[in-house]
Structure 1
Amino acid sequence: MALPDTAPLLVGLLLLFHAFGAWAIVEVNMEDKVEVMAGETAQITCMFTTDEGLGGTTIQWFYVLPNKERQRIYNKEPMHEAAEQNTLFTHRISLNVSGTAAVLAIRDVGVRDNLEFICVIKTLTPEEAEGRTQLKVFKSPTFPTIEAVETGISVNEEAPSKIGSCRVKNGYPKPNITWYRNNMPLRNTPREVVVTSRTTIESSGLFSVQSELTMKVKKEDKDAVFYCEVIYVVPGATKMTESQHINITVYYLPTEVNIWVESPKGNIKEGDTLELRCDNNGNYPSSITTIKHQNSEYSVENKTMVRTNVKRLDGGVYECTFLETDNFEEISGSTKVSVNYLESAVITPKDSIAVMEGEELKASCNALSSLQTSTTWFKNEKLVSKGNTLSVKSATLETAGMYKCVVTVPEMEGMKTSSTLQVNVKGSPQILGPDVQEVETYETTVNLTCSATGFPAPTIMWTTSDGKNLNALQTETEDGAQSVVTFKITSNVKVFCNASNDFGSKVVEFNIKTIVHTTPTTTTTTSTNTITDDTVQTPTKSPNIKKESKGFVIAIIIIAIFLLAILGSVLYFLYKKGRICGRSGKQDFSKRKSSKDNIVVEMKSDNTEEAILLGVNGEKQQPNDQ
């Protein structure tokens, strides 16, 4: 409504300024560029000054099309303002004017908004001014992904081989990719390193970049670490993102082959399980590894050889051969294996030796071995000598026996061998035990044993003091002979054991004494039968039981009989008092029971002929009443 009223006034003022030739002065200041991340709100400021004041100022915003033409997007006049319709910014822009500053806000900017924006300031006079700002939009790319080749690469390849590829997506401006090997950047080098990149512009206007690395590998690359680095720009800075690290498989021929004994550790002895291992400092897929025993031509196509229960002949040189099957190049290595052994112990003289009593005993023991040995002699599990030689200056009968020679290898546990030697000492017999032995017995026969040592084994004869020869069984023992005779006793007698051989004889005397049997008696009682005296037999004593032990047994039996007699007296006393067998108070001795109710017990005594008959109720009965 106000516009028609003020229009003539404005036109009049314009004519007045024109008539006097006075023009307004307008100035505009803007930043060269405004940087913002995609998705944020960009604010472009237009600073202006005019000597006419702000009342008649018009503010217009444009952006520059690719063909350099202008496209207005906002118009603000003194009495009206609005965003232009049907533009890229119609619904995303707003203008805020504060004093001499006009700020254009663009919401949700994208990479398509990377444009040049123009701010135009007009006054009531024909005078106008403009300023320009370049809007720059940035978008950080995704984290780079890297892929290594799955197959191995041979150092013998003539042309560079593909190492891997690196890819980064949706960045703006376009990100750059640089390859690294062990923290060192890789640049294109003819016939050595080739880096190729391919850029894709997505429908959103963002950039995706893929880079591929090919190079000629060396043996050292088997341990190398490869990765790619992505460099991109953000408002006011440059950033870098590093991909994961990758390794590649490098195939190369070995320059050295090694073979060694994996087990056992240390020295090897016969009977062990031998394990050999072979390896080389190369890495090649098409190859054959062979381990061979040069002495026997025994071989396996493997990096491991196992031989069980090895013998000394299994020692020697073992060779490991690596054969590259593409060009049939061959390389080998070897090691020497020693299998230690210990043969059976050999005693000289063999098996047995006989020496005269008083003479020197001498024997030697040896065992062939690949290592130093130690020899010891044992008798009855006791150490008697050390060294290869067993020597006794003056042999006695006690010297005789079984000797064991043990040969060991101190350097290796478990290596041991042994052999035995029977030593016999020639001399007159010796009988074990005292020369006179006392034998007492209740038995009518006794077994007498006589053991004698000596070599040759003595012959044992048995005789009695009355000149009788006794037949006996004789057996040989380790150091002599033993004889057992069974002798029937009729009276006290002496028996002689006579042991003799080619060098003498020895006699031992057995004094045999008989002991008379004793038959003590006692009285016992039963409830159903007539009790008679039983004769108590004392145990028969063997020839080795002493008199004191027999007396002790007899005393025990007598005490037991005495205790039984006391028990009988107590029972009878209780009966008389009516405490047992149903008696209570006085009884009618004239009262008689029927015969079927009577149970009669007859008690006899050695001191009286009287027989007392007791009924069930305790009445005394005459014998004719039974």
Structure 2
Amino acid sequence: MFCILVAKCVLVFSKGLGWYTVNSAYGDTIIMPCRLDVPQNLMFGKWKYENPDGSPVFIAFRSSTKKNVQYDDVPEYKDRLSLSENYTLSITNARISDEKRFVCMLVTEDDVFEAPTVVKVFKQPSKPEIVSKAPFLETEQLRQLGDCISKDSYPYGNITWYRNGRELQHREGVVNISFNKQMDPATQLYTMTSSLEYKATKADIQMPFTCSVAYYGPSGQNTVYSEQAVFDIYYPTEQVTIQVLPPKTAIKEGDNITLKCLGNGNPPPAEFLFYLPGHPEGIRSSNAYTLTDVRRNATGDYKCSLIDKRSMIASTAITVHYLDLSLNPSGEVTKQVGDALPVSCTVSSSRNASVVWMKDNTRLRSSPSFSSLRYQDAGNYVCETALQEVEGLKKRESLTLVVEGKPQIKMTKKTDPSGLSKTITCHVEGFPKPAIQWTITGTGSVINQ
């Protein structure tokens, strides 16, 4: 009801239209058309808004005759209003407090027309972010995964959690989701926080977690997503394995052996118990244990286990390869021609070994055997043996055989076909090398030496 003083005070009832809604983004300019046809006998137009208790607050006035515009002294709208000739009201820098019911009023001498407009202001929230992230998740343990936070929203939005792109639903003791919203009294903008407690499994290894916030804007509902977060998943060791370095097929006496124990948990165990032949109680060590200068008596079963769960154990058999060679006789041996000389080359090894005989750098087809020594049997003999599967494992012993004997003389004569001369040849065999001289029988004179 509006009272106009002309010649007398007359009470008239306003006529107008139904409610109309204008949606605006936070910070934009709100534009509200009057939505009334301007009557020919218009005196002036006014805009007002209504307080929650229904009381009016006038904010703008425009005369139809003087064409001047007046803005009421309302602090929150100072320098923000603009009223056009067609009575469209614009409000710059939209705020949450602008969510009101505004009314356009066109006044004639005998009537008042009203058109209400409801203003809705929307503020897109910030991109959600996963914060307070757990350094790791542990299987079968309900742990705080993190908080999803999104700021400066109006109205407040709803937060959803995802695992590998699939929405997570609340499951007591497995997936616990809580939600909290707070409004800044100065800006009336909301900050939303959702906390996720999660019980991980090994299937969560390398799985991405994300969150989203669904909010309403001027054009309807929208959703914005966070960046992915991948968490380190801790899980207990389920199997223990043991490794031997160098490879156990090539270990020989004098080598160093490193036993390496591995657990398939995350993080892997840092310490183990190592069980060596003769040490059933176990030796506590890091995941590597080294034995130096091993001997053949180190051959046996080696094991390792978890410290706190000795039943989880792994074992391996290690053979320390060895090779012994004995040559009898060896060194330098002097024998007489015609003597017998038994020779033996005995090999003791962890595997079948090959044996090769050499004489004066020439390979023999068989082992030497001397039942009656000859001068040509003298020489340098070498017995060599090796394990082909084990690099560097070979042995050799040598025998230098010297064959001595009294000189043996053999003479031959050959007459020249002319009959004028004869050639006498003297063959002497012996060791050490004999001295040879010629004498003339009956005279004793030496003619050659």
TM-score where L is the length of structure 1: 0.58
Higher radius of gyration, 1 or 2: 1
What residue number does 1:557 align with?
none
Structure 1 residue 77 corresponds to structure 2 residue 57 = no
Q: CA deviation at 1:400?
A: 0.4
Question: Which of residues 330, 353, 361 in structure 2 aligns to 1:373?
Answer: 353
Structure 1 residue 35 corresponds to structure 2 residue 2 = no
Q: Which has the higher contact order (CA 8 A, sep 6+)?
A: 2
Which letter does structure 1 place at the counterpart of 2:22? K
Q: CA deviation at 1:417?
A: 0.2
1:151-190 matches, cutoff 5 A: 155=139, 157=141, 160-190=142-172
Q: Which runs of 5+ in 2 are unaligned?
A: 410-427
CA distance in 2, matches of 1:96, 1:274: 94
1:373-452 matches, cutoff 5 A: 373-380=353-360, 382-386=361-365, 389-390=367-368, 396-429=374-407
Q: CA deviation at 1:95?
A: 1.1
CA distance in 2, matches of 1:148, 1:495: 116
Structure 1 residue 88 corresponds to structure 2 residue 73 = no
- Residue deviations 1:244-294 (CA, integer Å, cap 9, x gap): 4141453x4322211111334752222222111111223479985211213
Structure 1 residue 60 corresponds to structure 2 residue 46 = yes
Determine if contact 1:117/1:135 at 8 Å carries over to the other structure: no
Percent of paired sites with the same residue: 24
* Secondary structure in 1 matching 2:278: coil
1:109-120 matches, cutoff 5 A: 109-120=94-105
CA distance in 2, matches of 1:391, 1:284: 66
Q: CA deviation at 1:33?
A: 2.6
Which letter does structure 2 place at the counterpart of 1:58? F
CA distance in 2, matches of 1:393, 1:330: 65
Q: CA deviation at 1:340?
A: 1.5
- Residue deviations 1:83-123 (CA, integer Å, cap 9, x gap): 1112421320101134xxx3211111122223232222333
1:598-609 matches, cutoff 5 A: none
CA distance in 1, matches of 2:116, 2:139: 63
Determine if contact 2:242/2:314 at 8 Å carries over to the other structure: yes
CA distance in 1, matches of 2:82, 2:429: 134
Which letter does structure 2 place at the counterpart of 1:165? D
Determine if contact 1:166/1:212 at 8 Å carries over to the other structure: yes
Question: Which of residues 192, 204, 218 in structure 2 aligns to 1:235?
Answer: 218
CA distance in 1, matches of 2:437, 2:58: 156
What residue number does 1:470 align with?
none
Q: CA deviation at 1:185?
A: 2.3
What residue number does 2:116 align with?
131
What residue number does 1:554 align with?
none
What residue number does 1:564 align with?
none
What residue number does 1:271 align with?
254
CA distance in 1, matches of 2:105, 2:229: 54
CA distance in 1, matches of 2:30, 2:304: 74
CA distance in 2, matches of 1:130, 1:231: 33
Question: Which of residues 177, 188, 194 in structure 2 aligns to 1:195?
Answer: 177
- Residue deviations 1:493-530 (CA, integer Å, cap 9, x gap): 9797xxxxxxxxxxxx2xxxxxxxxxxxxxxxxxxxxx
Could you say if the C-alpha distance between residues 122 and 265 of structure 1 is closer, same or farther in structure 2, counting changes exceeding 3 Å? farther
Which letter does structure 2 place at the counterpart of 1:66? P
CA distance in 2, matches of 1:430, 1:406: 36
CA distance in 1, matches of 2:365, 2:287: 47
CA distance in 1, matches of 2:376, 2:290: 53
Structure 1 residue 106 corresponds to structure 2 residue 79 = no
Determine if contact 1:41/1:105 at 8 Å carries over to the other structure: yes
RMSD: 4.0
What residue number does 2:425 align with?
none
What residue number does 1:339 align with?
320
What residue number does 2:416 align with?
none
CA distance in 1, matches of 2:115, 2:263: 79
TM-score where L is the length of structure 2: 0.78
Could you say if the C-alpha distance between residues 363 and 495 of structure 1 is closer, same or farther in structure 2, counting changes exceeding 3 Å? farther
CA distance in 2, matches of 1:123, 1:294: 113
CA distance in 2, matches of 1:329, 1:314: 23
CA distance in 1, matches of 2:79, 2:258: 83
* Secondary structure in 1 matching 2:229: coil
CA distance in 2, matches of 1:284, 1:138: 45
- Residue deviations 1:448-503 (CA, integer Å, cap 9, x gap): xxxx9955x56x6799989xxxxxxxxxxxxxxxxxxxxxxxxxx9797xxxxxxx
Which letter does structure 2 place at the counterpart of 1:332? I
Q: Which runs of 5+ in 1 are unaligned?
A: 1-6, 16-22, 432-451, 467-492, 497-508, 510-626
Which letter does structure 2 place at the counterpart of 1:281? N
Which letter does structure 2 place at the counterpart of 1:415? L
CA distance in 2, matches of 1:289, 1:219: 23
Indicate the structure with greater strand content: 2
1:152-551 matches, cutoff 5 A: 155=139, 157=141, 160-202=142-184, 203-221=186-204, 223-236=206-219, 237-250=221-234, 252-264=235-247, 266-283=249-266, 288-297=271-280, 299-324=283-308, 330-343=311-324, 345-349=325-329, 351=331, 363-380=343-360, 382-386=361-365, 389-390=367-368, 396-429=374-407, 454=430, 457=432, 509=449
* Secondary structure in 2 matching 1:91: coil
